[in-house]
Amino acid sequence: MIARNQFAAVGVALCFAVGASSLGLAQGRGGGVPEAVPPPQNFDTSTEHYEYLYTLYNGGTTHTYETIPKWEGLWSASGNNGQGNLFVAGGEIIEGVLTPAYEEAFRMRRQIMAEAGGQPYDRLTTCEPAGMPRWLVEPYVREWSNTPTQSWWLNDLANDTRRIHINREHQNVDGSHSSQGDSVGFWVDDMLIVHTVDVYPNDYFRGLPPTSNQFESVEVYRMEMRPNGDQRIVANVTFYDSVALTEPLTATYTWRPRKDLEAAGFRIRHWECESNQNTFLTFNEAGQPETQFRLPGEEGFDDVRGFDPNRAPDLPPDLPGQSKNPIFDDAVQ
């Protein structure tokens, strides 16, 4: 067990430190969004960052079902300092944050938005989940379920669930990426440190820059008590992307409890997306139903994206780092 007074000494190495808190957790001014705290030193990769913290805290805390922090109830995204502030200031793109190819791609996206009066294309409209890192800011309802071996974080939008495998190594038996990637983590008392890799190219949010297939992150989560007595979940997140970012970026995200929705009886339901008709039922000679699939190139295939599936239509066709599964793509070339 990590003693609580240790957080004061090395809190900035973990997250959120402002000195006043013995837990190394920054209370935002007036209970606002805590300031983002960059990593304690420069790391070339997210893996180096995560392993540094794992070593620093000797592997962290081994929880039981009785001691695991409980983040029950319904939650929705609240304030953050990373949604647009990382890339845009005063309506202008901050130069040098994105690599040249991705800065050019972002300018192309913003030009299309300016001409259309908004972003005409959104990955969600083609049935894609929000995925990481957009998951952090989607306004829909969340549920957080922590167990000693896994944490399950459910997003009402598109059944977009993250699974954090506690005290485990990364595994990728499929040899591919996914919308949420592969996340492992460890607890340090009541704080959960998470490392995520193997993520699809995605967006920070609608209208913000895309990520590449090399996007990774290190996140630190904790529930805190606000000055007004309300609870909230806070995450200090560092983004790594060797293809899209010139250097890692760090931001803070928060979620607030939704007692009003709980009182109204809200439940997270299955997200239905009916625009894709490539999975359909037929009946065999015995009258039994069978699931069939139309694959790309087959007659009747419905390309719900309507474009090259390896890129969004509002990005340059030769933008690097946009293939969905770089591990698999490299293996078959």
Q: Above pLDDT 90, what percent of the chain? A: 59
Q: Which pLDDT does position 255 carry in this prediction?
A: 97
Can you give the pTM of this predicted structure?
0.82
Number of continuous H segments (helices) and E segments (strands) in the chain: 5, 13
Which of 181, 174, 239, 176 has the alpha carbon at shortest distance from 210?
A: 239
Q: Which pLDDT does position 328 carry in this prediction?
A: 64
**66-75, 117-126, 201-210: least confidently modelled range:** 117-126
Q: Above pLDDT 70, what percent of the chain? A: 83
Q: Which pLDDT does position 2 carry in this prediction?
A: 36
- The tens digit of pLDDT for each residue in 221-251 reads 999 988 888 899 999 999 999 999 999 999 9
Q: How confident is the model at residue 276 (pLDDT cuts 50, 70, 90)?
A: low
Q: Which pLDDT does position 117 carry in this prediction?
A: 83
- The tens digit of pLDDT for each residue in 290-326 reads 767 788 778 877 766 555 656 677 889 889 988 877 8
Q: How confident is the model at residue 9 (pLDDT cuts 50, 70, 90)?
A: very low
Residue 204 has pLDDT above 50, yes or no: yes
Q: Which pLDDT does position 7 carry in this prediction?
A: 30
Site of tokens 């952090």: 136
Residue 185 has pLDDT above 90, yes or no: yes
- Residues in Cβ contact with 138 at an 8 Å cutoff, skipping those fewer than 6 apart: 77, 130, 155, 157, 160
Q: How many CA atoms lie within 13 A of 158 on its CB side?
A: 17
Which of 240, 260, 258, 264 has the alpha carbon at shortest distance from 250?
A: 240
How many other C-beta atoms lie within 10 A of the C-beta of residue 119?
A: 16
Site of tokens 């000693």: 148
Please give the helix or strand (H or E) that residue 234 lies within, else none: strand 231-241
Domain-wise residue ranges, the chain:
39-333
What b/e readout covers 25-40, taking b as 16+ CB neighbours within 10 angstroms? bbbbeebebbbbbebb
Residue 21 has pLDDT above 60, yes or no: no
